[in-house]
Amino acid sequence: MRTITPDRFEMEVLRARDPVIVLFDANWCPFCRAFRPIMERHQDEFPWSITAVLLDDMDDSLWDIYSIDVVPTLAVFESGRPVFKLDGILGVGLGEKDIERLREYIRSGAASKS
């Protein structure tokens, strides 16, 4: 999993040729720090690249543009737009059940497997 700052979001995610799994993340978030190793442990199971986007600045426009209320949040972007999203739960974050929900989405074929 590679990590980028928001200034690389357009180039690395929106302009990507293939679907991208995005982990909206923040260094200050304990739930992000707990979820990141879970995501890394499963990353080889997914057909697309995973990009962690650091939203350390609460004023970053990505919070509003993609309606990120809580980090961590997972999303799948295809052709420059979000097609699937798993919002973290305030005070809980994300966990193994969310990895399974992402797997189910991918298995459903809802996004193209370019």
Q: Which residues pair with 76 in a beta bridge?
A: 21, 84
Counting residues of the chain whose pLDDT is more than 90, the rounded percentage is 95
In 1-114, the DSSP E strands lie at 2-4, 20-25, 49-54, 73-78, 81-86
Cis amide bond preceding 47, omega within 30? no
Rounded Cα gap, residues 88 and 110, in angstroms: 21
* Per-residue pLDDT band at 109 (split at 50, 70, 90): confident
Mean pLDDT for the stretch of residues 91-95: 96
Which residue pairs, CB below 8 angstroms and at least 24 apart, start in 39-43? 39/1, 39/74, 39/99, 40/1, 42/99, 43/1
* Per-residue pLDDT band at 66 (split at 50, 70, 90): very high
Superfamily of domain 2-107 in CATH is Glutaredoxin (3.40.30.10)
pLDDT per position as a tens digit, 4-16:
999 999 999 999 9
- Residue 113, pLDDT > 50, answer no
Tokens coding 101 = 């929900």
Mean pLDDT of the chain: 94
* Per-residue pLDDT band at 99 (split at 50, 70, 90): very high
pLDDT per position as a tens digit, 31-63:
999 999 999 999 999 999 999 999 999 999 999
Residue type, 95: G
Mean pLDDT for the stretch of residues 67-90: 96
Question: How many of the other CB atoms lie within 10 Å of CB of 92?
Answer: 10
- Cα→Cα distances 105→34, 37, 41, Å: 23, 21, 19
